């Protein structure tokens, strides 16, 4: 149990376009989902925490208008990178937590902005 | 603030033991984790330890915690080529409910 999926696994887009990444908990209900960003050969940096039905809490330095997070159900959270630019190219990883449990990570989405 | 540090690279011979070390600064850490990341993939939880424990063993994995020195280690016995990956140490003061603070990751290379 505790499987988390992400879609797409990779995406290439043009500068200025918006990209939506989905994170789903497949076999459990996730009360909280987290979005991380990972640069090459670096660690994961938490971007935001989202609880189902409420607004996401963003980490300092993360632009909430650029990285839109929606946690519409207990099994789905989406991250939309708006007006993407090459510096937004990165590996985006989500995790999901069910109540009183640890975080389970998705396989990640590689975003390349041309 | 909270900080987690790891050495960046470790090379071992197949069959030998690997020891990956981690230090952290948050004295309120209650849970400490080890994650494995293979190329192009997400993170796989390997094991975790509560701060009131000194050691935890799970098959080939042994976690040692020195809470006084804020030092955590992961020992992999009989290291195999399939163990080649990046290993992240992470700490949380609220059981992973909120923030996980990750180290930079240790790249383990296993050679014949």
Digit-coded pLDDT (tens) for B51-62 = 889 999 999 999
B100 touching A (Cβ < 8 Å): yes
pLDDT of residue B94 exceeding 70, the answer is no
State the average pLDDT over residues B76-88.
96
pLDDT of residue B79 exceeding 60, the answer is yes
Q: What is the mean pLDDT of chain B?
A: 90
Residues of chain A with pLDDT under 70: 1, 100
Distance (Å, rounded) from C-alpha A89 to C-alpha A112?
5
pLDDT of residue B31 exceeding 90, the answer is no
Find the residue in A nearest to B103 (Cα).
A43
Q: What is the model's pLDDT at position B30?
A: 81
Q: What is the model's pLDDT at position A72?
A: 82
Q: What is the model's pLDDT at position A51?
A: 86
Q: What is the model's pLDDT at position B98?
A: 66
Q: What is the model's pLDDT at position B32?
A: 92
Q: What is the model's pLDDT at position B1?
A: 60
pLDDT of residue B108 exceeding 80, the answer is yes
Distance (Å, rounded) from C-alpha A53 to C-alpha A74?
9
Distance (Å, rounded) from C-alpha A15 to C-alpha A84?
5
Neighbours of B94 (CB within 10 A): 12
| Of A65, A70, A61, A60, the residue nearest A83 (C-alpha) | A65
Question: What is the distance of C-alpha B102 from the center of its chain?
Answer: 10
pLDDT of residue B33 exceeding 60, the answer is yes
**DSSP states along B28-51:** T--EEEEEEE-TT--EEEEEEEET
- Tell me if A44 and B43 make a contact (CB, 8 A cut-off): yes
B95 touching A (Cβ < 8 Å): yes
Percent of chain B past pLDDT 70, that is, above it, reads: 94
- Tell me if A102 and B35 make a contact (CB, 8 A cut-off): no
Cβ atoms of B89 and B101 closer than 8 Å: no
In angstroms, what separates the C-alpha of A44 from chain B's closest C-alpha?
6
Q: Which residues of A touch B (CB under 8 A)?
A: 4, 6, 32, 34, 42-44, 46, 49, 93, 95, 97, 100-108, 110
């Amino acid at each position: 149990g505790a499987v988390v999926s992400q879609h797409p696994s990779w995406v290439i887009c043009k500068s200025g376009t918006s990209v939506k990444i989905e994170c789903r908990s497949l076999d459990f209900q996730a009360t909280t989902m987290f979005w991380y960003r990972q640069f090459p050969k670096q660690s994961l940096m938490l971007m935001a925490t989202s609880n189902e039905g409420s607004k996401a809490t963003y980490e300092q330095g993360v632009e909430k208008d650029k990285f839109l997070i929606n946690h519409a159900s207990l099994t789905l959270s989406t991250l939309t990178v708006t007006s993407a630019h090459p510096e937004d190219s990165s590996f985006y990883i989500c995790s999901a937590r069910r109540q009183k449990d640890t975080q389970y990570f998705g396989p990640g989405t590689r975003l390349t902005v041309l | 603030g909270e900080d987690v540090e790891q050495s960046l690279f470790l090379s071992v011979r197949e069959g030998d033991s690997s020891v990956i070390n981690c230090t952290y600064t948050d004295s309120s850490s209650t849970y400490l984790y080890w994650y494995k990341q293979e190329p192009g993939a997400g993170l796989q939880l390997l094991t975790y330890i509560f701060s009131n424990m000194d050691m935890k063993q799970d098959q080939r994995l042994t976690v040692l915690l020195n809470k006084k020195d804020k030092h955590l280690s992961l020992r992999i016995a009989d290291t195999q080529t399939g163990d080649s990956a990046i290993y992240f140490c992470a700490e949380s003061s609220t059981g992973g409910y909120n923030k996980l603070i990750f180290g930079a990751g240790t790249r383990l290379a296993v050679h014949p």
